[in-house]
């Protein structure tokens, strides 16, 4: 059990390690009741450390120490101190070999950190600090060693034995056991160590690199998943090619392996040469995975693969630098996905996530900079800020430098720091050195938390033909940070004339060939830009492509937003204008009388979107999605969730009633009988017809109901089946809902990944996911508290997506979540700490809700033996 007063760790207290480990020799004896780990470390004093004669301190967690030997001589208990979380040897020579034997119990490991069991196989998860659950080791990323790993296990139960690098030896042992030895030639931090042992089928492919080397690609999955590997394998090959072409990065080992496991805390892990994936993020077939899942898998496979350079070859000095690898790698996988599909749609998806969830994080009690200055539990810092905002920060550097200079910068970064553990500052310096640009003020993006707010105002001087744009920035206070400095913000703008034409942006009178779009660089609290030669008041198009992760306030009229929706040359801003208009309309109806009118021009513009098939259908599919409840809550103060929910639903129903015939026509037009394809066009068609279906069922349309059933039963793919199921579940037809859910369950009961979707479509639905029904799902035989995906699909979907039910005025949703967090805290603290997030946002809500959320949080705080993970989150969110 962890101590009750967790320590805070500070970046400012970073010290280089006193000892380095050059080589690690591991031998795992795997048995049914546990595992014995023999570890031999080649250790030497770090010449860069000033701590002469420092004791050797190795981290450990939940280990049973069996023996310790130094240079071959066994140590007795008085020669070392086993502090539980550290093994300390007071005096050691300059250079030595340390051999340690530990006993661990993977079967009882429910935290899923270190070595654990998942559906009968052994697997590991070591990032961030899981290696210390395997053996005693300096568990910090700036200690990089070469690993040799021998795995021994029963051959019939565990025919496949994997670790990082290349397999260099294998053979038979007594009692039906066998062994395989792996050697990884690249020095790596221990968080990249991995081991897998199980009865798995192997799928093989090859990839020829740009220098002509053939790489063995292997996927290992449970036999029932053998047919679900193709998409991931294809995605892997596309990623490998793309990283060569766009970043000049070639793969470096002879083998690249992917393993799918069912029980996994996160999405996937980039272990050197042996990526381990949550099954839900790698396995797919047309019958079982939605379009969204196919796209997510492609992105995650790419993400983990790209880590081989941005993360593994060049790694983090310490965990404060986490965004060095994560922000950069998310940026890289976003570029990749944009290249593979529709760049505008990809941008819309990324920005939606950022604005809904990262902005909320940045405005809440856990707000932290992209490079945090302190933490208690590093697992709590795998956040949207580190990942998504971190990627935006890299993206801004890309925009400021341009693609060529950025590539020079990334080349320099990889070359200069290959094999090193470095900082975000090293990354920025490489970009500066390669481009000659000064990014000193830009570095504030790494240091200051909070989302900058840009207040924009304008003036038109008819006589002088001048249009003046004034932009003021301020960055709100966040926990521990106030009075922030202005940041360096790239702000892309355009101006539209009354016929929708793009006006030249003339900043110096008389300038010729002025561009129609400019990236204004904001560095001060206030800037005014004057545009010349403007003959009538233009409509400004601001923050094009979302050129910086900021909030923009400008008093657009509804007329102007409608104008931008159809004329802005920037597709992203066309979508954004539609979102702003819908937000404005919904907000004006929150708490309004039941018969208050819905803006008629919203209906007109949606009719145009639905009917004009000459528009980019992928963009239309996105434009038809109303802003989510979560986003509307993020934008609100004193949010009254049921009122927001009602206002949004009122707009949806009004649109559906007004556009009923157009929706049926849209459904039919987008219905196709041809072969299933995963192209942007085909995805857009499925999205459009499923949106039409969902809207029709919102208004209990009889024809819509028939179409939904026909599609549900006849679909040849999961996107359509799930689209129809979701529409039926969210309709008022209770019997149809139950019938469809039952049919679906019977059809897919053997497939845990589909059952997860079946859970979440119910838990996320106001109609099917009220508390008694949620309790019934938790009692369902397919539910499993030990499996994070199942927990997320019921508890997470309820608290994160079924917002009207979660924020029930009697507080029952909050009490429910508090109870489940306490229950999970004992078995899997990482998952518990993530699940509690919705409660931590209590300050956002109207007073009556606020008090009940706070009370629920206090109950979690008072639980006996609270983990460090949950302790940190709960205490920070209750602090004033
Ligand atoms: N490093 C992983 C990724 O982003 C995420 C992860 C973190 C997985 C911690 C497991 C544990 O690709
Ligand atoms: Zn990552």
- Per-residue pLDDT tens digits for 512-522: 999 999 999 99
> What average pLDDT does range 607-612 have in this prediction?
96
Torsional sign, CA 405, 407, 410, 416: negative
Ligand 1, from 259, 267, 388: best to mutate by most atoms within 8 Å of Cβ?
A: 267
> What average pLDDT does range 568-595 have in this prediction?
97
Bond into 754 cis (ω within 30):
no
Judge whether residue 779 has pLDDT over 90: yes
Whole-number Å distance between alpha carbons of 613 and 751:
38
> What is the 3-state composition of the chain as percent helix, strand, coil, each rounded to the nearest 5?
45, 20, 35
- 73-95 pLDDT per residue, tens: 999 999 999 998 999 999 999 99
Whole-number Å distance between alpha carbons of 739 and 405:
59
Judge whether residue 810 has pLDDT over 60: yes
Judge whether residue 3 has pLDDT over 60: no
Strands 274-278 and 95-104: unpaired
Query: 102 φ, ψ to 5°?
Result: -130, 155
CB 794 near ligand 1, within 6 Å: no
What is the pLDDT confidence band of residue 1, given thresholds at 50, 70 and 90?
very low
CA–centroid distance, 192 to ligand 1, in Å, is: 10
- 130-143 pLDDT per residue, tens: 999 999 999 999 99
Beta-carbon-side half-sphere exposure of residue 718 (alpha carbons within 13 Å): 20
CA–centroid distance, 126 to ligand 1, in Å, is: 9
Ligand 1, from 118, 127, 301, 830: best to mutate by most atoms within 8 Å of Cβ?
A: 127
CB-based burial label for 425 (10 Å; 0-12, 13-18, 19+)? middle
- 242-296 pLDDT per residue, tens: 999 999 999 999 999 999 999 999 999 999 999 999 999 999 999 999 999 999 9
Atom 11, ligand 1: residue with shortest CA distance? 127
Residue ranges in 307-420 assigned as alpha helix (H): 322-340, 343-353, 359-362, 384, 390-417
Residue 307 alpha carbon, nearest atom of ligand 1: 12
**Shortest-distance ligand to the CA of residue 130:** 1
What is the pLDDT confidence band of residue 665, given thresholds at 50, 70 and 90?
very high
What is the pLDDT confidence band of residue 4, given thresholds at 50, 70 and 90?
low
Write down the pLDDT at residue 647. Answer: 98
Whole-number Å distance between alpha carbons of 291 and 349:
14
Which tokens hold the place of 139?
């568990």
CB 304 near ligand 1, within 6 Å: yes
Atom 9, ligand 1: residue with shortest CA distance? 127
- 822-864 pLDDT per residue, tens: 999 999 999 999 999 999 999 999 999 999 999 999 999 999 9
Judge whether residue 712 has pLDDT over 70: yes
**Coil, helix or strand at residue 56:** strand
CA–centroid distance, 51 to ligand 1, in Å, is: 33
CA–centroid distance, 267 to ligand 2, in Å, is: 9
Judge whether residue 2 has pLDDT over 50: no
**Coil, helix or strand at residue 272:** coil
Question: What percent of the chain has a predicted confidence (pLDDT) above 90?
Answer: 98
C-alpha dihedral, 609 to 610 to 616 to 619, nearest 10°? 70
Whole-number Å distance between alpha carbons of 598 and 605:
13
Whole-number Å distance between alpha carbons of 803 and 489:
34
Atom 3, ligand 1: residue with shortest CA distance? 269
Strands (E), 719-783: none
Ligand 1, from 268, 330, 390: best to mutate by most atoms within 8 Å of Cβ?
A: 268
Write down the pLDDT at residue 672. Answer: 78
Write down the pLDDT at residue 875. Answer: 98
DSSP for 426-488, please give it. HHHHHHHHHH----TTTTHHHH--S--EEEEEEEEETTTTEEEEEEEEE---BTTB-SPPP--
> What average pLDDT does range 672-695 have in this prediction?
93
Ligand 2 ion: residues within 5 Å (CB): 326, 329
What is the pLDDT confidence band of residue 5, given thresholds at 50, 70 and 90?
confident
Which tokens hold the place of 871?
């302790």
Query: 271 φ, ψ to 5°?
Result: -40, 140
What is the pLDDT confidence band of residue 181, given thresholds at 50, 70 and 90?
very high
In eight-state DSSP terms, residue 379 is G
449 near 367, Cβ under 8 Å? yes
Residues that are catalytic: 304
- 15-55 pLDDT per residue, tens: 999 999 999 999 999 999 999 999 999 999 999 999 989 99
CA–centroid distance, 587 to ligand 1, in Å, is: 38
Write down the pLDDT at residue 674. Answer: 84
Sequence-distant (≥ 6) Cβ neighbours of residue 402 within 8 angstroms:
none
Strands (E), 11-164: 19-30, 35-45, 56-59, 64-70, 73-74, 81-82, 86-89, 95-104, 114-118, 121-125, 144-154, 160-163
Whole-number Å distance between alpha carbons of 299 and 301:
6
Nearest to 657 by CA among 622, 621, 620, 701: 701
Residue 382 alpha carbon, nearest atom of ligand 1: 7
CB-based burial label for 638 (10 Å; 0-12, 13-18, 19+)? exposed
- 324-382 pLDDT per residue, tens: 999 999 999 999 999 999 999 999 999 999 999 999 999 999 999 999 999 999 999 99
Chain mean pLDDT for the chain: 97
Question: What percent of the chain has a predicted confidence (pLDDT) above 70?
Answer: 100
- 406-442 pLDDT per residue, tens: 999 999 999 999 999 999 999 999 999 999 999 999 9
806 near 798, Cβ under 8 Å? yes
Write down the pLDDT at residue 438. Answer: 98
> What average pLDDT does range 677-692 have in this prediction?
96
Whole-number Å distance between alpha carbons of 351 and 303:
18
- CA angle (879 as vertex; 875, 880 as ends), nearest 5: 170
**Coil, helix or strand at residue 424:** helix
> What average pLDDT does range 739-756 have in this prediction?
98
């Amino acid at each position: 059990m962890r101590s009750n007063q967790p320590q805070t760790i500070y970046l400012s207290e970073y010290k280089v390690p006193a000892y380095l480990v050059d080589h690690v020799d591991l031998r795992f004896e795997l048995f049914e009741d546990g595992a014995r780990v023999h570890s031999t470390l080649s250790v030497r004093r770090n010449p860069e450390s000033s701590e002469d004669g420092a004791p050797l301190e190795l981290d450990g967690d939940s280990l049973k120490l069996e023996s310790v030997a130094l240079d071959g001589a066994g140590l007795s208990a008085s020669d070392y101190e086993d502090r539980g979380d550290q093994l300390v040897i007071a005096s050691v020579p300059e250079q030595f070999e340390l051999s340690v034997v530990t006993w661990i119990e993977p079967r009882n490991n429910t935290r899923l950190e270190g070595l654990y069991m998942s559906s009968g196989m052994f697997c590991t998860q070591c990032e961030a600090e899981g290696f210390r659950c395997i053996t005693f080791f300096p568990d910090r990323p700036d200690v990089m060693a070469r690993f040799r790993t021998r795995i021994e296990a029963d051959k019939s139960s565990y025919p496949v034995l994997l670790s990082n690098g290349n397999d260099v030896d294998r053979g038979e042992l007594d009692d039906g056991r066998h062994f395989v030895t792996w050697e990884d030639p690249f020095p790596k931090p221990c968080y990249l160590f991995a081991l897998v042992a199980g009865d798995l089928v192997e799928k093989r492919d090859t990839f020829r690199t740009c220098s002509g080397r053939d790489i063995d690609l292997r996927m290992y999955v449970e036999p029932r998943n053998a047919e679900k590997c193709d998409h991931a394998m294809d995605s892997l090959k596309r990623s490998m090619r793309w990283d060569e072409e766009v970043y000049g990065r070639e793969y470096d080992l002879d083998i690249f392996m992917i393993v799918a496991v069912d029980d996994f805390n996160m999405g996937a892990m980039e272990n050197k040469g042996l990526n381990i994936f949550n099954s839900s993020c790698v396995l797919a077939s047309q019958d079982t995975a939605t379009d969204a899942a196919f796209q997510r898998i492609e992105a995650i496979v790419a993400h983990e693969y790209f880590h081989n350079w941005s993360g593994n070859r060049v790694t983090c000095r310490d965990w404060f630098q986490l965004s060095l690898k994560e922000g950069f790698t998310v940026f890289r996988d976003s570029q990749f996905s944009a290249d593979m599909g529709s760049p505008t749609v990809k941008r819309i998806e990324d920005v939606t996530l950022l604005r809904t969830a990262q902005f909320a994080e940045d405005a809440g009690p856990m707000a932290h900079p992209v490079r945090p200055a302190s933490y208690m539990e590093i697992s709590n810092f795998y956040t949207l800020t580190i990942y998504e905002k971190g990627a935006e920060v890299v993206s801004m550097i890309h925009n400021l430098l341009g693609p060529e200079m950025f590539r020079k910068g990334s080349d320099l970064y990889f070359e200069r720091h290959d094999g090193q553990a470095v900082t975000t500052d090293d990354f920025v310096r490489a970009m500066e050195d390669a481009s000659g640009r000064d990014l000193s003020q830009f570095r504030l993006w790494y240091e200051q938390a909070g989302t900058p707010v840009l207040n924009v105002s304008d003036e038109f001087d008819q006589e002088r033909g001048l249009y003046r744009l004034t932009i003021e920035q301020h960055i709100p206070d966040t926990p521990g940070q106030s009075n922030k400095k202005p940041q360096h913000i790239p702000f892309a703008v355009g101006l539209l004339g009354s016929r929708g034409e793009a006006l030249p942006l003339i900043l110096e009178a008389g300038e010729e060939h002025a561009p129609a779009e400019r990236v204004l660089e904001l560095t001060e609290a206030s800037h005014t830009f004057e545009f010349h030669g403007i003959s009538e008041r233009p409509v400004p198009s601001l923050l094009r492509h979302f050129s910086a992760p900021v909030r923009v306030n400008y008093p657009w009229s509804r007329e102007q937003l409608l104008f931008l929706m159809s004329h802005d040359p920037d597709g992203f801003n066309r979508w954004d204008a539609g979102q702003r208009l819908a937000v404005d309309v919904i907000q004006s109806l929150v708490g309004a009388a039941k018969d208050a009118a819905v803006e008629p021009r919203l209906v007109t513009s949606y009719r145009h979107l639905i009917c004009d098939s000459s528009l980019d259908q992928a963009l239309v599919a996105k434009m038809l999605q109303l802003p989510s409840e979560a986003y509307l809550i993020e934008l609100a103060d004193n949010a009254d969730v049921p009122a927001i929910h009602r206002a949004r639903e009122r707009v949806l129903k009004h649109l559906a009633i007004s556009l009923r015939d157009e929706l049926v026509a849209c459904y039919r037009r987008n219905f196709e009988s041809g072969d299933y394809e995963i192209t942007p066009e085909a995805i857009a068609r499925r999205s459009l017809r499923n949106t039409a279906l969902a809207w029709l069922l919102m208004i209990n349309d009889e024809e819509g109901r028939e179409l939904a059933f026909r599609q549900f039963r006849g679909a040849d793919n999961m996107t359509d089946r799930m689209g129809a199921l979701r529409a039926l579940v969210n309709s008022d037809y209770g019997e149809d809902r139950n019938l469809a859910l039952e049919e679906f369950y019977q059809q897919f009961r053997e497939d845990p990944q589909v059952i997860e979707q079946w859970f979440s479509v119910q838990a996320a639905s106001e109609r099917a996911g009220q508390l008694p029904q949620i309790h019934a799902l938790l009692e369902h035989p397919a539910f499993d508290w030990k499996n994070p995906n199942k927990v997320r699909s019921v508890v997470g979907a309820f608290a994160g997506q079924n917002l009207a039910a979660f924020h029930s005025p009697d507080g029952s949703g909050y009490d429910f979540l508090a109870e489940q967090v306490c229950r999970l805290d004992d078995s899997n603290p990482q998952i518990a700490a993530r699940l509690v997030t919705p409660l931590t946002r209590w300050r956002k809500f109207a007073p009556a809700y606020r008090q009940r959320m706070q009370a629920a949080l206090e109950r979690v705080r008072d639980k006996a033996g609270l983990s460090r993970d949950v302790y940190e989150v709960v205490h920070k969110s209750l602090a004033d």
